[in-house]
Amino acid sequence: MKLPAFSYCAPTSVDETCALLREHGDDAKVLAGGQSLLPVMALRLARPALLVDIGGVGGLDGVEVDSDAVSIGARCTHAALERHPIVRELLPALHLALPLIAHDAIRTRGTIGGSLAHNDPAAELPAVALLLRAEMRVRSARGSRTIRAEDFFESYLTTALAPDELLTSIRFPLGAGLSACAVREVARRHGDFALVGAACRVSIADDGVAARVALLGADRVAVAFDVDAAVLGEAPFDDGRARDVSRELADRLDPPEDVHASSDYRRHVAGVLVERVLLEAGAKLGEATR
């Protein structure tokens, strides 16, 4: 399908990008990897008059570690992050989720910032950002601000970004102490968007092992839940406790129904996946503490 007509510009700095977004407001759209925006335009679901291509903007593709966080530039591609040693070592949940996104060709062009700004409920990265309590660093001609993941993903394909704002980097805080992660999903075919997915991070707390679980495809936006340490006990977890927790979380969901799956099916799969990621992450943590 042919794209509708649009104008195109290729700024080389964040300031120039922000000036263009301020000047054109709702008529402009940032173009990153184009893997979501261009199909949406081809389907006539968006008709921006101007595409602001950030492919040549400097300073948006670094991965940096400081004492308590990893910051990732918004234009880093899924493929580059999948191979990045810092991501593999310090952000295992992200490392496990990246290969589940689409196919190599799409991961080579698609960016972390594009995925988070697009906010598809079935995408992996919004769920991982929620799981890890990421913070979005945003710039506009009006200034800078930081938005917590909990406040960023507002609803279906909608975020807290204003039309004149550019997502520049994502900060992933590193928790103190030992932790372990697991990510699982169910898709009809390898590379398809998942029907449902679950990611989990477990970490040692004073009274046991605390868990945080995030789900994709289980609601109209990615969702996350915290499970108190007292509920799960020591790692590895008891099967019955993990099952009880997963059933209780699944009951809180209100999954969408569409041509791919019914609401009940999504709720059931979500419960099964939560149980599996809890047990898997709990087993990894148990192994690490032995």
Ligand X SMILES: Cc1cc2nc3c(=O)[nH]c(=O)nc-3n(C[C@H](O)[C@H](O)[C@H](O)COP(=O)(O)OP(=O)(O)OC[C@H]3O[C@@H](n4cnc5c(N)ncnc54)[C@H](O)[C@@H]3O)c2cc1C
Give me the residues that bind ligand X (CB under 6 A), please. Answer: 29-37, 39, 74, 101-102, 106, 109-111, 113-115, 117-118, 123-125, 161, 166-167, 193
User: How does 191-229 read in b/e, with b if 16+ C-beta sit within 10 Å?
Assistant: eebbbbbbbbbbbbeeebbbbbbbbbbbbebbbbbebeb
CB of 197 to ligand X, least distance (A): 9
Work out how close the CB of 20 gets to ligand X at its nearest, in angstroms, rounded to a whole number: 12
Nearer to ligand X, 35 or 203 (CB): 35
CB 138 to ligand X: min, Å? 8
Say whether 67 sits in a helix, a strand or coil: coil
Distance CA 106, CA 34 (A): 9
Pairing of strands 196-205, 143-148: unpaired
Q: Which residues contact 17 (CB under 8 A, 6 or more apart)?
A: 11, 30, 52, 54, 57, 166
The encoded tokens of residue 24 equal 């054109």
Closer CB to ligand X, residue 20 or residue 167? 167
- If the CB atoms of residues 92 and 113 are measured against ligand X, the closer one turns out to be 113
Least distance in angstroms from the C-beta of 246 to ligand X: 23
| Cβ nearer to ligand X, comparing 167 with 250 | 167
Q: What is the DSSP string of 262-277?
A: -HHHHHHHHHHHHHHH
Q: Min. distance of Cβ 119 from ligand X in angstroms?
A: 8
With respect to ligand X, which residue has the nearer C-beta, 110 or 255? Answer: 110
Which residues, 6 or more positions from 251, have their beta carbon under 8 angstroms from its beta carbon? 267
Q: Which residue is nearest to ligand X (CB)?
A: 110
